[in-house]
């Protein structure tokens, strides 16, 4: 593995999943592997789960960890080439990436979606520019359009909880008061495609995901039809791809409730967190036995540990 | 110990004090105890002493430490149950506590007083909700109404410096330009009650502490009378309990001065820090030989180390 | 070494350089030296390189590291003596320095120039007050008027890259949209003076550095004359010393370009970073083979490691 920014960086998915499971069984089995090695995590926007789980994972492998909130601990980073930098940006991403590479062995980078310029977001300009100028492997801690560490943990959780060889997995759009990126949804679809699941995507009209991610998949505007017999219900809000970055109101009844969960095959409720209660999902579902959101969050540690181990092995 | 949020969590106070003293004598004696274990410290508001001393203590015990400023590194946390979270809060405390529990072995949590809703503050709603949903032990790094790590360090300092078996300890209200919580004062009273000291509390009329903390204790509105023969003078501002959270002006002459210290029995001056010079206490006292504020701050490390060791022993 | 705030703290410069080179050759040779010791880094303003490189250096030596952004993680610090602290400052530097000293073995401190009160800046009031009240060694992570860790890395880089025993080194003022401190320039001059180089300083009229730093040195207002035959071109903006702290516009043509670099003796381009592209230096120079800015940044780790080792040896 040269880095980890999407499922395309994974040569053998089953090996990675098996490694993650092994990490969970014995998190302390490789405490010497990362000795003397440093992970530097750089955040362009806030994070709780990703930050703590990845830091924990690296420390379990014996690594040192340095964390920086780029825009508050540091300063604005210029992303454009050829500009005359006489405005608010104090450092170009070329130097930032080049310098940080010299201070650590692996970089974890959290970028963000502008939700404004779709092409730029989907070209992952910030992540790719950083990687182009970095000289050590880069792990995505979520980018503009993908969140692979989350998806790996999600898939790991589905495998743990599945009662059948080929579970029915529903990805359902959910309401939210603010416009959110499509990253978690896109990434989840990528990882589900690579696994043995019966994936159904459901969302209101106008909230189609990017064609490159969903083509060939089952998509319906009828949430009830989708939920029918589901083993797993993954709820997530995303803003519009076509009317890019706009939030769409008027679909409050897409919230996941106990009543809806009764349509499933005693399905498990999943969400990447943070989740807005009684907007995305009702208290009753989240606090009930069908919710496995904390297991997903828990598996973030082992997903990160598996990815870090793979990178350390090849370093 | 299941956690540490007040003196009520301490089964045998003398054992804890003895352990803290032993830690001070040899801070490196248990460097393997916390190996592979993680302390996650979460701050809802700024901290210097608590943050650094607790981090130092955990590292001396071999633990990994992760620090998060929840509201700046993370996001607003919803505390109410049953609300429709379509406002500024992005995550409910149930999920926050549940998730962080999965990423560490002990949680250190700093909450704050609203100084607005007295019942809520005194019920320690934030601390208790977090604990209710956490699955690992929680250490208070100061809560709305208590600051037990500070009090343990304070008591340890008094024991070190006491010239008599039963010293006279005065807790005196002091002036301050802003409204402050009652946490340090309440907690100090709790720990003094549990120890062999002659405690006297003094404050201007209208600044009574909560009855549950002070009933049965000597309280006087005459600062001079209280200071007479004192071995220790603990100064601290607090806002009104009766007119809850309001600061009370007009008592500037309650500042501790050299002249006042002459009334004591060559008493030591104590304060939890940070302290506003020439408002709470004069430069002359703070810079003079009677001040032991830096010893108190120093003992914060060993107080935290003792508490962490007790929790690790039972994990 | 009792601390490290300027070249005057260095007893034998060649020993320090030799140690830094040795650290670069084998960064892991002293992983036990700092075991159980703690470095606490305090920042009054943002930092990327200094923060990460010093943290990395300390961890390579086996130290624990604690990082605090004083003004965001903590609170405003009072610097004046004798004031009645009833304003926005919550803690006096006396207590801050005294307390932090009790929580670590070495303190790294980043202070800043007011660019307003020249005497105060040049007296290094903040750095010196902190040191006066600290009880452990203090390393400057840049102060109001000096940046010795940067200069050590700069000198180390020049030694690595020099083709002659006595290279010609040019320090040239460069344009910048905001008023910047003179710290990097002052400090660079100090360290160059102590080494075998032919130093020439060039800047527009009115941008003279402080006499105490430059007296006896070659200074010219003709940038072209200075660049002639240079082995190293160190570009850096600084604001006016005479019209203190004012930025000076109208000298945009002092930017370093490829054309200017052709005047040199195939000279290397240096800058401490962060650098504003196409303002201080053109893209072509920074992206070309003559730029050694990333090597300078890289050497920051070994400079810090050498200084930390010296301090640990004497502790």
For the sheet with B38-43, list strands across it.
Answer: B64-69, B38-43, B106-110, B138-140
Omega cis (within 30) before B274: yes
Domain assignment present for residue C1? The answer is no
B306 vs B27, B62, B115, B152, C212, CA distance in Å?
Answer: 10, 14, 31, 10, 52
The verdict on residue B205 lying in a domain is: yes
The string of pLDDT tens digits covering residues A47-104 is 889 999 999 999 999 999 999 887 766 668 898 999 999 998 999 999 999 999 999 9
Chain C residues contacting A via beta carbons under 8 Å: 28, 31, 43, 46-49, 51-53, 55-56, 59-60, 69, 72, 177, 273-279, 283, 286-287, 293-294, 297-298, 301
Nearest to B185 by CA among B157, B209, B203, B161: B209
**Do B104 and B161 fall within a single domain?**
no
Contact B169, B227 (CB under 8 A): no
The separation between CA B129 and the C-alpha centre of its own chain, rounded to angstroms, equals 20
Distance in Å, alpha carbon of B298 to nearest chain C alpha carbon = 6
Strand-pairing partners, residue C236, are C173
Instruction: Tell me which chain B residues have a C-beta less than 8 angstroms from the C-beta of A31.
Output: 36
Per-residue pLDDT tens digits for A91-142:
999 999 999 999 999 999 999 999 999 999 999 999 999 999 999 999 999 9
Let me know whether A57 and A74 are in one domain. Answer: yes
pLDDT of residue C76: 82
**Other beta carbons within 10 Å of B18:** 12
For residue C302, the surrounding DSSP H or E stretch is helix C293-314
Taking only the tens place, the pLDDT of each residue in C170-218 is: 999 999 999 999 999 999 999 999 999 999 999 999 999 999 999 999 9
Whether C139 and C156 map to the same domain: the answer is: no
Distances (CA, A) of B85 to A77, A174, A183, A251, A260: 33, 13, 22, 16, 20
Smallest Cβ–Cβ distance between A103 and the set C53, C177, C279 belongs to C53
Question: B43, B274, B303: which to substitute to probe chain C, counting the most C Cβ within 10 Å?
Answer: B274
Task: Look at B95 and A59 and tell me if their CB atoms are within 8 Å.
Answer: no
Examine residue C73 and state whether it is found in any structural domain, yes or no: yes
- Distance separating the N- and C-terminal Cα atoms of chain C: 9
Q: Is residue A201 part of a domain?
A: yes
Our CA-based measurement puts residue C248 at a distance from the nearest CA of chain A, in whole angstroms, of 14
For residues C111-129, average pLDDT = 95
Of A192, A197, A151, A187, nearest to A307 by C-alpha is A151
- The tally of CA atoms less than 13 A away on the side-chain side of residue B70 is 22
Phi, psi (deg, nearest 5) at residue C121 = -60, -50
**Of A202, A283, A54, residue with least CA distance to B66:** A54
Structure confidence by residue, pLDDT tens digits, C263-285: 999 999 999 999 999 999 999 99
- Main-chain phi, psi angles of B231, to 5 degrees: -90, -30
φ, ψ at C130 (rounded to 5°) = -60, -45
Q: What is the ipTM of this complex?
A: 0.94
Q: Does A52 contact B103 at a Cβ distance shorter than 8 Å?
A: yes
By the 10 Å C-beta count (0-12 exposed, 13-18 middle, 19+ buried), C276 is classed as buried
Rounded to whole angstroms, the Cα distance separating B169 from B267 reads 9
Burial class (CB in 10 A: 0-12, 13-18, 19+), C2: exposed
Minimal Cβ distance to B86: which of A59, A177, A286: A177
**Do A303 and A7 form a contact (C-beta atoms < 8 A)?**
no
Domain count of the fold of chain C: 2
Q: What are phi and psi of B53, to 5 degrees?
A: -70, -35
Site of tokens 């080194």:
C169
* Segment holding B77, helix H or strand E: strand B77-78
A73 and A131 belong to one structural domain: yes
Q: How confident is the model at residue C15 (pLDDT cuts 50, 70, 90)?
A: very high
CB burial of B247-265 (b: ≥16 within 10 Å; e: otherwise) equals bbeebeebbbeeebbebbe
C171 and C201 part of one domain: yes
Beta bridge partners of A131: none
- Say whether both A118 and A130 belong to one domain: yes
C-alpha distance from A217 to closest chain B C-alpha (Å): 31
Name the residue facing C74 among B48, B293, B301 (closest C-beta): B48
Instruction: Identify the CATH number of the domain in which residue A36 sits.
Output: 3.40.50.1370
Contact A39, A108 (CB under 8 A): yes
Residue A231 has pLDDT above 90, yes or no: yes
Domain range holding B238? 149-296
CB atoms closer than 10 angstroms to residue C220: 14
Regarding whether A50 and A30 lie in a shared domain, the answer is: yes
* Contact call for C103 and B278, based on CB within 8 A: no
| SS3 assignment, position B44 | coil
Give the three-state DSSP class for A270. Answer: strand
Q: Is the domain of A267 the same as that of A251?
A: yes
What string of DSSP letters covers B104-153?
Answer: -SEEEEE----SS-HHHHHTTHHHHHHHHH-SS-EEES--SS--HHHHHH
Domain assignment present for residue A2? The answer is: no
Nearest CA to C80 among B277, B279, B275, B258?
B277
Taking only the tens of pLDDT, chain B with its 315 residues reads 789 999 999 999 999 999 999 999 999 999 999 999 999 999 988 888 999 999 999 999 999 999 988 776 667 889 899 999 999 899 999 999 999 999 999 999 999 999 999 999 999 999 999 999 999 999 999 999 999 999 999 999 999 999 999 999 999 999 999 999 999 999 999 999 999 999 999 999 999 999 999 999 999 999 999 999 999 999 999 999 999 999 988 999 999 999 999 999 999 999 999 999 999 999 999 999 999 999 999 999 999 999 999 999 987
Q: Which residue has the tokens 């690992």?
A: B136
Are the beta carbons of A3 and A139 closer than 8 angstroms? yes
Coil, helix or strand at residue C277: strand
Mean pLDDT, residues A36-49 taken together: 91
Assigned domain for A1 exists: no
User: What pLDDT is recorded for position B74?
Assistant: 66
Q: How far is C82 from chain B (nearest CA, A)?
A: 7
Asked if residue B100 and residue B190 are part of one domain, the reply reads no
Measured in whole angstroms, how far is the alpha carbon of residue A69 from the centre of its chain? 19
Q: What is the pLDDT of residues C57-104, one digit of tens each?
A: 999 999 999 998 877 666 788 989 999 999 989 999 999 999 999 999
Mean pLDDT of A8-29: 97
CA A202-A154-A203 angle, to 5 degrees, is 10
Paired strand residues for A92 = A78
Question: d(Cα C36, Cα B61) in Å, to the nearest integer?
Answer: 10
Q: How far is CA C256 from the centre of its chain?
A: 21
pLDDT tens digit string along C125-148?
Answer: 999 999 999 999 999 999 999 999
Q: Does the bond joining C274 to the residue before it have cis omega, within 30 degrees of 0?
A: yes
Rounded (10°) CA dihedral C258, C260, C266, C270: -80
Yes or no, beta carbons of B276 and C85 under 8 Å apart: yes
Identify whether the C-beta of residue B273 lies closer than 8 Å to the C-beta of residue C95. yes
In sequence order, the 6+-apart residues with CB closer than 8 A to the CB of C292 are C157, C161, C268, C269, C270
Residue C52, preceding bond cis, omega within 30 degrees?
Answer: no
Verify that C183 and C292 share a domain, yes or no: yes
Phi, psi (degrees; rounded to nearest 5) at C33? -60, -45
Whole-angstrom Cα distance, residue C52 to residue C108? 12
Residue B207 tokens read as 């600044």
Q: What is the mean pLDDT of residues A219-246?
A: 98
Q: How confident is the model at residue A24 (pLDDT cuts 50, 70, 90)?
A: very high
Quote the strand ranges of C31-180, DSSP E.
Answer: 38-43, 64-69, 77-78, 91-92, 106-110, 138-140, 168-173
C96 assigned to some structural domain: yes
In this prediction, residue B70 carries a pLDDT of 79
Cβ partners under 8 Å of residue C168, min gap 6: C197, C198, C200, C229, C230, C231, C232, C265
Residue among A85, A98, A102 minimizing CB distance to C276: A85
φ, ψ of residue A281 in degrees (nearest 5): -150, 150
C160 inside domain: yes
pLDDT score at C272: 98
Does A165 share its domain with A130? no
Distance from CA of B25 to the nearest CA of C (A): 14
Q: Which two tokens stand for residue A258?
A: 């106990």
Contact across the interface for B275 and C92, Cβ inside 8 Å: yes
Do C240 and C305 belong together in one domain? no
Alpha carbon distance B135, B138 (integer Å)? 9
């Amino acid at each position: 593995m040269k880095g980890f920014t999407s499922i395309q960086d994974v040569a053998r998915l089953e090996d990675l999943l098996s490694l993650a499971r092994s990490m969970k069984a014995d998190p302390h089995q490789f405490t010497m592997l990362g000795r003397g090695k440093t992970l530097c995590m750089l955040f362009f926007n806030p994070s709780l789960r990703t930050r703590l789980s990845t830091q924990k994972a690296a420390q379990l492998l014996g690594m040192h960890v340095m964390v920086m909130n780029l825009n508050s601990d540091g300063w604005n980073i210029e992303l454009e080439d050829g500009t005359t930098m006489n405005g608010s940006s104090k450092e170009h991403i070329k130097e930032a990436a080049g310098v940080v590479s010299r201070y650590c062995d692996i970089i974890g980078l959290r970028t963000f979606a502008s939700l404004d310029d779709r092409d730029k977001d989907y070209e992952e300009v910030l992540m790719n520019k950083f990687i182009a100028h970095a000289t050590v492997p880069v792990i995505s801690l979520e980018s503009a359009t993908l969140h692979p560490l989350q998806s790996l943990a999600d898939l790991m959780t589905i495998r743990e909880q599945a009662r059948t060889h080929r579970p029915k997995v529903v990805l359902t759009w959910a309401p939210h008061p603010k416009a959110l990126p499509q990253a978690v949804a896109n990434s989840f679809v990528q990882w589900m495609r690579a696994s043995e699941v019966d994936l159904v995507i459901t969302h209101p009209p106008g909230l189609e995901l990017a064609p490159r991610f969903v083509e060939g998949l089952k998509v319906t505007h009828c949430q009830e039809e989708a939920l029918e017999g589901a083993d797993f219900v993954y709820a997530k809000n995303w803003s519009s791809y076509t009317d890019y970055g706009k939030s769409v109101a008027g679909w409050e009844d897409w919230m996941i409730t106990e009543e809806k969960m009764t349509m499933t095959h005693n399905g498990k409720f999943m969400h990447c967190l943070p989740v807005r209660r009684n907007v995305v999902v009702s208290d009753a579902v989240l606090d009930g036995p069908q919710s496995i959101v904390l297991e997903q969050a828990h598996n973030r540690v082992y997903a990160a540990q598996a990815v870090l181990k793979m990178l350390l092995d090849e370093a």
